[in-house]
Structure 1
Amino acid sequence: MNRTKRNRRFTNARAAACTALWAATLSGPGLQAQEHHEQLQQLVESLPVADRAVIDRLGDLNKFEAKEWHYHAGDLPHAESTSLDDAGWQVVQPGSEAPAGAVWYRRWIEVPKSLHGYSPAGTVISFRFEADAERDVTQIVYFNGRRVALGADLEPVVLFDHAKPGERILVAVKLLQTDGPKKFVNARLHVEYAENRPSPGDLRDEALSALALIPTLSKDPAADRKVVDKALSAIDVHALDASADAVTGAGQDRFDASLRTASQTLAALRPMLQQATFHEVGNSHIDAAWLWPATETVDVVRRTFGTAAQLLNEYPQYTYTQSAAQYNEWIAEKYPELNDQIKQEIKAGRWEIVGGMWVEPDLNLPDGESLVRSILIGKRFYMKQYGVDVHIGWNPDSFGYNWQLPQIYKKSGIDTFVTQKMEWNDTNQLPFKLFWWQSPDGSKVLTYFPHGYGNQSLEPLRLSTDFATARKQAPGLPSMLDLYGVGDHGGGPTRAMLDQGMHWAKPEAIAPKMEFGTADSYFKQVRPMIAADSKTWNYAALGQGAGYTYPAAPAAGAINIPTWNDELYLEYHRGIYTTQAKHKENMRNSEIETLDAEKFASLAWLGGSTYPTDTFTDAWKKITFNDFHDLAAGSGIGVIYRDAQKEFDTVRQETGEIAEASLKTLDAQVDTRGKQGVPVLVWNPLAWKRSEVVSLDVQMPEATSDVSVVDADGHVVPSQIIASDAKTNGFRLLARAEGVPSLGYTVLHVVPGKRDFASDMKADGLTIENDAVRVRVDKATGCITSLFDKKAQFETFAPGGCGNELQAFTDKPKDYDAWNIDPGTYDVAPTLIHNVDSVELVEHSPMRAVIRVKRKWQASSFTQEIALYAGADHALVTTDVDWRERHILLKAAFPLAATSDHATYEIPYGSIERPTTRNNSFEKARFEVPALRWADEGDGKHGFSLLNNSKYGYDGVGNLLRLTLLRSPTSPDAEADQGMQHFSYALYPHAGDWKQAATVEHGYNMNYPLMATQVAPHTGSMAATHSYASVDSADVIVTAIKKAEDSNALIVRMYESAGKAAQVHVTLPPGATGASITNLMENESGAAVPVSAGVASVSIHPYEILSLKVEYAH
């Protein structure tokens, strides 16, 4: 390569380093950034005063600043011209704000006669203008009226190629229109000296890097520290003082000579420093949709991948790592030539595929099946398109990680996981770099916390401080994986970064080794070195006594690492469990409706129907795309949620049509004849028997003023007419279907006329009850003052407590409005919304009783219906809110009589206990936590489960369990959650603990309602009630039944929920010829499972996710 071109690139790299080093070190709100800053301060402050002055002086010699700029708001033609008079423009400095429209900045930049006594003559001076906004800021840079750069996140541009003191250039910068206000951050100038002169900046970085690593790597720290002191003492900064007025001559020569002497002295530390290696992995984090729509992301991916492919041609050592199969599908479909280049680089081992998922999703909010399908679809795409089997999990930016993720990964063929997000914690820093992460079933994946994913500096100083910490966290660690490249809106590694890396990778560098490679090559190096012994930790252990102790020093050639057996809870971005409620409701419902459709389509397929594999795959692609972490979090701009709504509507339509067609096929096989009336099939999509209320829509053949419901034997079924239409003879009814079989159906008949039935419903004023539960509501406040478990004879709520109390908190986070609930938010007493417009019993029938509470508060209005149904063991609260608040968080609170030091919350494929105490910083930090369908608190004898159908944020403190209902941030979506909201939650008092009370089943029941379809009376081969599949263990939850991707088999997925090993008997749909255990990717992973008389017998371990592949002769 042409030396001049390479040197120019190196110049850009050095300039980029100057601007990026401290930004990279200090970026992010987390404690890790603060820790790095403190480490650097400590390094400098540990030096003698004279050495500290030398370090400061060296740092000044490669830069100078351009502070004052002439500024104009609004566009102007030819404002870059050197003849334009800008004397009347406003003068601004870095930190100044600018409006959303186009703005201009101008100033003359002159080469100084001296840089702190050092001559800039003959140097290369690069310029970079930094601006910030919520989205990328596009800028156009002009030198003397000539455009030299256009784009966002620009690399430094050479301003003076061979500087001459006194030379001047007019710099004009135009910032284009942005979505909101922007800020002028800084304007930086970096000086690169000629190759024949030593670099003051390099020597400074080498000395500080050595200081950072001596305590970690040195066998004689005191002696090696003296080497650094000797090198710094050799630097003759006074020579610069002597030459300050005459910048050429003996003074400058003496200074350069002293730098060479210092470098020769410091070189004695090279062998010690090169015990450490920096393994540099180029990547670009690309947000699928965030502050821009997905349509824009397509172009971001094209540009990012195109740049990566070009740089791979230019830099033989460079490798590129990327995740998210959706991005590759876009490239394959829209840019086949670029895809062909990617294929070639993958074969050459220089383009690495990681992650395996469709996109990088949130990993707390989607249900387990959504996470599995994201991996299934992603890995299958990568194998088909590139022949790659991904085995590194990659989700660097999600907002916390559920405890079952190691098992999900492990059973998907992924044995390693990388994320950097935990360093964003606002309270506690997890003391890990490389460690085992363990699920409750015992599955482990090797996990790594890099410092950031978008580092833009490859200076050894940043890396050395990070390595010093890493070596303490994982004693014996010989190398450190580091991720670099522009991210979020794409970009990836730049020539400046690569040139900088090449510079520090040179053998003569007095720094740790630097190598470029893939994540896979790194883990292949370190995995065999990991010692067998590993102490296990969790949050409870960290908060006890003296807290964490680092692993001991290992034997030579080994690495000691800890094991983490808990969730990875992000102590930041706690508001994302609630923001953009409609999107979260769509996520939940699309999962449910697609899983239901798969079950019914599978049963129809066994009967000869075509299974719509492609339609389901497309549905899961849409679902999992909208599980992307910024989409799921509610932290994006409004348009991405409008786009998501369209995709969710498509999913519902297509899966709804599949379910309807499948049920018609199955209905046709059932003998629906009855002595009278209109037959209705009631379907249960879950794998246990259920007795619940179901909604029926029927059209009677003849006019009638009243109807009733009977079962197949003619017994009256409790029912109630909700609506009717005399013109069509149509009726909407509620009916309590008893004993609907597991994954099966029962036939009911709607008959004309009114038939009485026994009912346990009672109502007395604002007290409603059935045989199981009594509910009392206070007329003055709308509070539920009593939730009495009649079977256990226990009052659920604390004496004098207000159940279902609406509590409003001021919610004004310091940063990240849509993301954050700041620590201390719940420490301030909330506004208790006790004012009511009306509290009245609006319905009392043999079927149900309903108390309606209406209220207004500030600009919002609320209607809540507290309902109790005949035969039900829980109360249902249905809420309609016209939400018009700003920066208010709304909770529903429940003060409990039976309490514990912990509450239990549902997570994907399981549950987790979290403390209700606040005894240490780890407990205090988890003041808002995620859950799926339920949370439960009790004392083991009595308990209370708070179920929901679309909410994810809870908190439990002392005897108070609360569900977060709504937030109202204004950025980045000014209208987030404004307007009508509809949701329900259920109050389930119970005896025993949540396991004995079947809370898991109750949560599923609330979210997977019984389904009813009117059918014609006809003969059929199937009886009036039938179960297609079931399991004989109440603790084993069947989550999915689907056709296998590549064979004529059914996949039956289940998990053990209570922590008890079991021998499970699975009753299968007729015709099974054999079965085997598979992993989550449907690859056989165990011995054959015996099947006898349609029943498979299989062992399941505590908390295990188990997939059964059932063969059929189809």
Structure 2
Amino acid sequence: MHENQQLTIGRVTRVLEERLRPAIHAQPHPLELARHTVGGEPIPVSEGIAASFEPMPAGSTWGRAWDTTWFRITGEVPAAFAGRRVEIVADLGFDVNMPGFQAEGLVYRPDGAPVRSLNPRAQWIPVTPEARGGESIEFYIEAASNPVLLDYHPFLPTEQGDSATATDEELYRLRRVDACVFEEEVFELVHDVEVLVQLAQQLGADSARRSRILRALDKALDRVDLQDIAGTAAAGRAELREVLTSPAEPSAHRLTAVGHAHIDSAWLWPLRETVRKVARTSSSMVTLLEEDDEFVYAMSSAQQYDWLKRERPEVFARVKEAVAAGRFVPIGGMWVEPDAVLPSGESFIRQISYGQRFFREEFGVECRGAWLPDSFGYSGSLPQILVGAGFDWFLTQKISWNQVNRFPHHSFLWEGIDGSRIFTHFPPMDTYNAQLSGEEVARAARQFKEKAVATSSLAPTGWGDGGGGTTREMLARGKRMADLEGSPRVVFESPDAFFDRAMAELPDPAVWRGELYLELHRGTFTTQHKTKQGNRRSEQLLAEAELWGAVAAVRAGYAFPHDEVDDLWREVLLLQFHDILPGTSIAWVHREAEERYAEIARRLEAIIADALAALGVDLDDVSAAGRSDAQRTLVNSAPVTWNGAPGAAVSLRPTPVPRAARREGDRFVLESEHVKIEIDGNGHVVSAVDLALGRDAVPPGERGNLLQLHQDFPNMWDAWDVDAHYLDMRQDLDSGAVVDLDGAAVTVATSFGESSIRQRLFLADDGRTLLIDNTVEWAETEKFLKLAFPVDVFADHAVAETQFGVHSRTTHTNTSWEDARFETQAQRWFLVEEPGFGVAFLNDSSHGFDVQRVKQGDRVSQLARFSMLRAPRFPDPRTDRGTQTMRFGVLVGADVGSATEAAIRLNTPARHATGAVVSPLATSTNPAVVISAVKLADDRSGDVIVRLYESRGGRARTEVRLDAPGLGTISRTDLIERPVEAESVATTVDEETITVTLELRPFEVVTLRLSR
């Protein structure tokens, strides 16, 4: 019996693929094709349609990498097609196995109206649902010849990832452009057969249901004449009616299919190409919505809607109509789908505030849930941010990619570092590009962890990345599985409808505490350093521009440039997309990102200078040289004490702690009243003593500031991954350095391989922090550079800053979960600490680090290492090549509080200036409560927003002093500045100063609104 079953499956599969599917489009009639090639950047649609075209026969090659070719299709519907549905089949040289990763097109009518996309999985263009015969045919295709960078043998280095280095070879060969009859009955037969044979393959060999299905399929194929498929398709379908109408079991899993196309805002293509990918996919999806009343499509990322509005208004108009009808559903509530560990907490809030503002203003809706299926791990701070911004639910799928440990839930409550909880769903189908195949649907039901108490899961359904989104074939499969014995029930509905049902099914779900660490893609904490550096600097400049702008507006009537700052925020938020900020895009994307960051910095520096000038502070080319202490001013925007003065917008006279640098024999010494640092003749830190405690942070005989170089060739995803085997190949760069004294600093110069590094070691103005400025001429290939510091502390955990708080990592590997976290990330610092003594490691742009437990004799210590640079070859073959700069800090005698303050100072350097001394607008009396933002309200009312958070993980009471004229009432808002019902804010008023008393739970974020 089993052998006969396999024979039937073999027969059905061959007939389906070789005879039935090709018969859907019949009676091909060749059409005339002409082309117009556009080198470089795309041209407007009107110009493309009006261009001069030259004839192009089938079989011709076309399309250099990143060029655009406009095709014109002309002809006439044959008289023989009268009464039939007519479609054009246009194969531009597609590979059906590579949707989203090769050539794509958008079809237009002669008047410029978009029709639908053309791609490997949708090679058809609708002409007429019922032909008269003799109608003229005229269509235009804007075709992008995107090079195939992710091929069957992926991750080979390629120069095709940048227009500046791509070849001139034409990449595609046109196969056919034919008018055809669409055989609807054959289409239906194909999907009857396909769904049933795929279902049978998922059922047990001894299943009666399987036997009945295969018998019906045998009988159906006996009724189909392969030389007259269209004429006999109905007879074949009749044999399948009984097995197709047998209903599902009452307990069958319920699968919500959400039409979707996960379109990376940049990746193996530049940002400008994503604009067109979104337009192509959206056009097809609106057309499909018009053709199928049950279909619901969902698209995330306000940025992608905004691109349509600005660049493709004809597509946006159709999308807007479909949104109003409730069929095209905005989801996610964010500007883009960002990386979910690297941006600052304030950036996450702005992703939501700018995203929700767009959806509210353009469509009159706000999204109820966060949609991040493809980010590379998720910070434990996110639950508080999502709940605090008004979200009800969260969806991701990426954790199913874990290399080692299988995540134990699919529907659960995710608890953040502050105790906030949000209902979370991981689609058990393990994909965000579902096709609704029998195998996928069965997998969803089989893997669903909560099946004992719930029945519902979600499947984002459609080809992503320009692959065209949901297809009519997927809809056909879904309809047949709506109520089919042996299969989960499939229903097309919105994500909100799914989450409402899922939450009702699980009133008391399991809880997962803390971050969602992805056991993969650990290299993204380090790859493409200049992109990460640009993001960090942009975040800080935005915070400074908003702070000084708010102070100047309140105290000096400064006209804050809302429009420009909004534009700059949106630009930074775009560049935080989860394949840009992590460093995993082609060279073109990162080259452009660096250029954009430079322009962002230029514009923000001008805004900061203007705001300070309104306050009487001059930054114009002012240097400290030649000025007396009475003339010099330091402009401080850090929200912590700086040189003895409170933070959150203040200018002050500088009073740095005295420091000394000297040579003692064969060693160099940096010293203040707080610490003494000794550096040997190879530039290694051999002693770092906290003078108050008499405690040396460096274990006896060990060396800090030790460069270590590893072989770095991961198993698969080059730019993304660092695999554990990299630890087995290490070269210590511990000799040959040139070390010298330069004023108050020690300089170290070292060469290795094809690269070199220059370091400058000196004590910061606080007299406690050893700063290490690094300039690296990086020319390595497939190497990983670390900077190591042995630390003489006994610790089971390393603590690292995350958004609005901290998370911890074990330094041991007792379990597979701990062992898998051999590389991790921090925001601005990480700390190894035992009771009474710790060492913090600060960075200005580098997120990756690791801490290893070391046993020598009877002493247990820790080896803390900054991750400096990588050199993967795909998708950018010259990743990080060239000059790289970064600053690190080592704070001896640290705890969480001092690490936070020192890292803020390192990332918020004071500016030299002349002019007035400006007092702070907002201060917190409890240093554990950090002010993270001072800004004008988003609604442009002139009200002031102050955001603060508890930074150390304990309950905290603080008084927030607000010193500004014209302030009125004070209220609490949610994170995106909407009023919330909460306990009244306790305030006292003294002339022009208002003091607010707050009680904060561990890591709580509070937003205050000060009316004017």
**Correspondent of 2:984 among 1088, 1092, 1107:** 1088
CA distance in 2, matches of 1:454, 1:870: 50
1:796 maps to what in 2?
697
Cα deviation for residue 1077 of structure 1 reads: 1.1
Cα deviation for residue 580 of structure 1 reads: 0.9
Cα deviation for residue 427 of structure 1 reads: 1.6
CA distance in 2, matches of 1:299, 1:196: 34
Q: Does 1:639 align with 2:588?
A: yes
Q: Does 1:1008 align with 2:989?
A: no
Q: Does 1:178 align with 2:132?
A: no
After superposition, give the CA deviation of every residue in 1:251-281 in whole Å (9 maximum; x if it has no partner): xx9xx99x9999858976x341673322110
Is contact 2:617-2:913 (8 Å) kept?
no
CA distance in 2, matches of 1:893, 1:355: 40
Who wins on radius of gyration, i.e. which is larger?
Answer: 1
Decide whether aligned partners of structure 1 residues 134 and 588 sit closer, same or farther in structure 2, where only a CA change above 3 A counts.
farther
**Correspondent of 1:462 among 413, 434, 440:** 440
Is contact 1:54-1:232 (8 Å) kept?
no
Q: Does 1:685 align with 2:637?
A: yes
Question: Residues 507-656 of structure 1 correspond to what in structure 2 (within 5 A)?
Answer: 511-532=487-508, 561-607=509-555, 608-656=557-605
Q: Does 1:1037 align with 2:930?
A: yes
Decide whether aligned partners of structure 1 residues 659 and 278 sit closer, same or farther in structure 2, where only a CA change above 3 A counts.
same
CA distance in 1, matches of 2:284, 2:826: 41
CA distance in 2, matches of 1:197, 1:858: 60
**Correspondent of 1:772 among 666, 674, 692:** 674
**Correspondent of 1:665 among 611, 614, 618:** 614
Residue aligned with 2:580, SS = helix
**Correspondent of 1:820 among 718, 721, 725:** 721
Q: Does 1:878 align with 2:773?
A: yes
**Correspondent of 2:379 among 394, 397, 402:** 402
CA distance in 2, matches of 1:811, 1:774: 36
1:411 maps to what in 2?
388
Q: Does 1:924 align with 2:893?
A: no
CA distance in 1, matches of 2:379, 2:150: 36
CA distance in 2, matches of 1:835, 1:65: 70
1:445 maps to what in 2?
422
Q: Does 1:1026 align with 2:919?
A: yes
Is contact 2:645-2:652 (8 Å) kept?
no
Percentage of pairs with the same residue: 29
Q: Does 1:838 align with 2:738?
A: yes
Residue aligned with 1:1084, SS = coil
CA distance in 1, matches of 2:345, 2:192: 54
Residue aligned with 2:326, SS = coil
Is contact 1:135-1:178 (8 Å) kept?
no
2:199 maps to what in 1?
206
Is contact 2:404-2:820 (8 Å) kept?
yes
Give the letter aligned to residue 927 of structure 2: A
2:78 maps to what in 1?
none
Decide whether aligned partners of structure 1 residues 395 and 233 sit closer, same or farther in structure 2, where only a CA change above 3 A counts.
closer
After superposition, give the CA deviation of every residue in 1:225-272 in whole Å (9 maximum; x if it has no partner): 6533663796797999x999x9999xxx9xx99x9999858976x341
**Correspondent of 1:1057 among 930, 951, 957:** 951
Is contact 1:99-1:182 (8 Å) kept?
no
Cα deviation for residue 340 of structure 1 reads: 3.1
Cα deviation for residue 408 of structure 1 reads: 0.5
Q: Any stretches of 5+ residues in structure 1 without a counterpart?
A: 1-46, 67-74, 85-97, 103-124, 141-148, 159-173, 213-224, 533-560, 692-738, 751-755
Higher alpha-carbon deviation: 365-374 or 784-793 = 784-793
Q: Does 1:298 align with 2:275?
A: yes
Residue aligned with 1:62, SS = helix
After superposition, give the CA deviation of every residue in 1:587-646 in whole Å (9 maximum; x if it has no partner): 000110110111111111112222222221111011111111111011111222232233
Decide whether aligned partners of structure 1 residues 474 and 1066 sit closer, same or farther in structure 2, where only a CA change above 3 A counts.
farther
Decide whether aligned partners of structure 1 residues 743 and 150 sit closer, same or farther in structure 2, where only a CA change above 3 A counts.
closer
Decide whether aligned partners of structure 1 residues 197 and 880 sit closer, same or farther in structure 2, where only a CA change above 3 A counts.
closer
Is contact 1:904-1:935 (8 Å) kept?
yes
2:942 maps to what in 1?
1048
Residue aligned with 2:963, SS = coil
CA distance in 2, matches of 1:588, 1:370: 10
CA distance in 2, matches of 1:59, 1:1052: 64
**Correspondent of 2:753 among 828, 851, 858:** 858
CA distance in 2, matches of 1:388, 1:200: 41
Decide whether aligned partners of structure 1 residues 680 and 79 sit closer, same or farther in structure 2, where only a CA change above 3 A counts.
same
Is contact 1:434-1:474 (8 Å) kept?
no
Decide whether aligned partners of structure 1 residues 763 and 773 sit closer, same or farther in structure 2, where only a CA change above 3 A counts.
farther
CA distance in 2, matches of 1:677, 1:126: 75
Q: Does 1:891 align with 2:786?
A: yes
CA distance in 2, matches of 1:340, 1:833: 60
Is contact 1:54-1:235 (8 Å) kept?
no
Decide whether aligned partners of structure 1 residues 504 and 749 sit closer, same or farther in structure 2, where only a CA change above 3 A counts.
closer
2:623 maps to what in 1?
none
Is contact 1:746-1:1026 (8 Å) kept?
yes
CA distance in 1, matches of 2:598, 2:834: 43
2:839 maps to what in 1?
944
2:830 maps to what in 1?
935
Q: Any stretches of 5+ residues in structure 2 without a counterpart?
A: 21-36, 38-54, 68-88, 106-115, 126-142, 155-174, 176-182, 620-626, 854-861
Decide whether aligned partners of structure 1 residues 792 and 1073 sit closer, same or farther in structure 2, where only a CA change above 3 A counts.
same
1:138 maps to what in 2?
103
Q: TM-score, normalised on structure 2? A: 0.79
Q: Does 1:154 align with 2:121?
A: yes
CA distance in 2, matches of 1:961, 1:196: 63
After superposition, give the CA deviation of every residue in 1:718-749 in whole Å (9 maximum; x if it has no partner): xxxxxxxxxxxxxxxxxxxxx23323545549
Q: TM-score, normalised on structure 1? A: 0.72
Cα deviation for residue 480 of structure 1 reads: 2.1
Give the letter aligned to residue 228 of structure 1: R
CA distance in 2, matches of 1:1076, 1:1062: 19
1:699 maps to what in 2?
none
1:228 maps to what in 2?
209
1:556 maps to what in 2?
none
2:16 maps to what in 1?
62
Give the letter aligned to residue 958 of structure 2: V
Decide whether aligned partners of structure 1 residues 1052 and 265 sit closer, same or farther in structure 2, where only a CA change above 3 A counts.
closer
Is contact 2:354-2:570 (8 Å) kept?
yes
Residue aligned with 1:385, SS = helix
Residue aligned with 1:63, SS = helix
Decide whether aligned partners of structure 1 residues 643 and 320 sit closer, same or farther in structure 2, where only a CA change above 3 A counts.
same
Cα deviation for residue 655 of structure 1 reads: 1.8
1:974 maps to what in 2?
877
Give the letter aligned to residue 1033 of structure 1: N
Is contact 1:318-1:350 (8 Å) kept?
yes
Is contact 1:356-1:393 (8 Å) kept?
yes
Residue aligned with 1:654, SS = helix
**Correspondent of 1:348 among 325, 337, 345:** 325
Is contact 1:393-1:416 (8 Å) kept?
yes
